[in-house]
A and B are shown apart, each in its own frame.
Chain A
Amino acid sequence: MPAVTETREAVEKLGLSSYKWGFETDIDMDVAPKGLNEDIVRLISARKEEPEWMLEWRLAAFRSWLQMKEPEWAKVSHPPIDYQDAHYYAAPKKKPGPKSLEEVDPELLRTYEKLGIPLHEQAMLAGVEVPEGEQARMPVAVDAVFDSVSVVTTFRKTLEEAGVIFCPISEAIKEHPELVKKYLGTVVPVGDNFFSALNSAVFTDGSFVYVPEGVRCPMELSTYFRINSRNTGQFERTLIIVEDRASVSYLEGCTAPMRDENQLHAAVVELVAMEDASIKYSTVQNWYPGDENGRGGIYNFVTKRGACRGARSKISWTQVETGSAITWKYPSCILQGEGSVGEFYSVAVTNNHQQADTGTKMIHIGKNTRSTIIAKTISAGNSDSTYRGLVRVQPKASGARNFTQCDSLLIGDQCGAHTVPYIECRNAQARIEHEATTSKISEDQLFYCRQRGLSEEDSVGLIVNGFCRDVLKELPMEFAVEAQKLLQISLEGSVG
């Protein structure tokens, strides 16, 4: 697919240690005044022309948030966040209206083009020339979210024909209220944690996916998040529901301009998988990480959780986390259905002054539920990375099995890597295995590669990619290539 080749080239053209995606789009914006109070919540709801029940839901969330405290258990540190000093709504001026490509501000389209995001269906369809030796690929449907709103969703028609609903969540609230009402907040309850409560009060957009019974979604679905405006938080909400014997693969990417200040991104993602359903959720997280001195960057506080409600359902999280100043994120699986399967494959890279506290929770409730956790942590520079994972086996989960493998790779001697596994087993027949390793990138390996003609940076890239192999191979092919390049870019300047 040409657009993806472009992405790859765009990434390749990166100079030394620069954040390529750091540009800013000059576009006329509709921005809410700074601050967070009930009026702002009402304003957001009004701007989105939401029904009354949604506003009530938000207000309830806001009130519970007011009672809550920011969590302190994560191994991250940052100056206190002033929640009143940010804008909670920013949208390109232009009626959201019907979202055909022609109506999208050309400046916006150029932005996504620059980012290498394939929004032009026409061009993509026309240009599906398959280079020799490579397999034909599925097109990817994209929902592009710019600051607080979805600006365009591609391939909607094709998807509709298959019965798949893929649209901005703001639209789903209006068009499919019964589905949204039924599922929103059922996996991540409003009051689950500080950031999910905040998100529930002020979320502005995100994607909604519904795959009906028996349907295998005919293409990869993807959402691309872009924070552009200054002093703006991004709070997106994603809800994916996959009915019996249906399946979907969903990708998520994100970038932000380079800024001196820290910006907050607090997303909530809820997945529901019914009987024999499967959801594959892949993330390549590339928010601006801040500069070499730790100035600026995104605070990425995210709650992602999937419920395997049906028997034999499967939810698989794959994440490559290279960006953000701070990452706080634990994509989890609630394994309710008998024989359901949860997977978590993660690569987290931190360099310079980045901090990451990430991992997963696997909650085994049903019989014979299985989970696999493969977490690879790479720390360089002065960064600090923690894997935090919980495996809980409930009393009724006979035959539950978990396998966890956590590997840390250190580059240099100023960085830190920590592994914090929590295991709570209340069923004697469950089997839980945990393996952990920590290693340094070895001089022998580096020298071997360089002797074969690879530059030092390419050698590090190769070794790191090898280290992450087990995770990268879980990504859809297009993403895998991009992720590999990203890993290398994120580590530039980390050796020598």
Chain B
Amino acid sequence: MTLLQLTSLRKNYGSVAALDGVALSVPAGSRTAIVGPSGCGKTTLLRLVAGFDEPDGGTISFDGQVLADGTFQMPAHKRGIGIVAQDGCLFPHLTVSQNIGFGMEAGRAVKEARAAELMDMVGLDRAMLSRKPDQLSGGQQQRVALARALARKPRLMLLDEPFSALDTGLRAATRKAVTEVLTAAGITTLLVTHDQGEALAFADQVAVMRAGRFAQVGSPRDVYSRPVDATTATFLGEAIVLPATIGEGRADSPLGLLDVDDVAYRGRAAIMLRPEQISVTREGRGGVGEGAVGTIAEITFCGPTCDVRITLPDASSFRLDIPSREAFSAGDEIRIGVSGAAHVFR
């Protein structure tokens, strides 16, 4: 069942089109991530869904009810949609406990008990309940903000880069904890981030956003291995894009004859490989010649991996991280093996 449905949503700031025809359908109980570079309109989209701004066109419907269209705009306080803003946005004049209880309609004792429960849920010490927000770290503030939004048991939760204030280690842990909390509560979630790894790890559905539009919407695996174009491909991770001539489910490329994921297509097109599909061995050691031969043009040692640039016989080149246990040096001849099918950009 679809909980949130956006159709051709538009929002302009003066002459800047922050959103330019966004369509999305979010199934109930799912986790959707919107990922895109800075300034592509992610926050704008969340603000429209939350009801803080009015769209210039298109509709937002939630649970079968229209929240906003060209003429009607339901005010934010009637929507019952929770939001955790980019910087937590706690009320500085209230304690943590009062912050969490802010949106609850209950007696004081009930509020306090519930606040304590929520603190456990988001993994914070109950002793912090009497503190003021400025006595918490950035990550703690964010978790309090989450607890505050959870307190109202919203059916949809909007998260605007909630982990961006955290360092890498804490980030993964917090993300996992938050995912668990939201899943346990059965809350549909819309997460906004500019970190593709986060989006892929978090979501059931990923929407890749670019300049106010969705370039692609799909499952994480789908958008990662079958991106619509080269820009999307490189945004979601390292990609090797090569020209090729395609026919009969195979591509004739600088890396030799490769399987492709599109059996119907014939003709010239660009193909994409992810680095993990590629393996390199020293030429002349493996004996039997499978795959193309290339030369290491540059190599930089980076600890567990080496960053190498490989040139192919047709003088094209690409970059790749390879495990550093094999001691290559510049000028070495290598044989390049490819596993799995290459993706065709039609």
The answer on A and B forming one complex is no
Interface residues of A (CB under 8 A from B): none
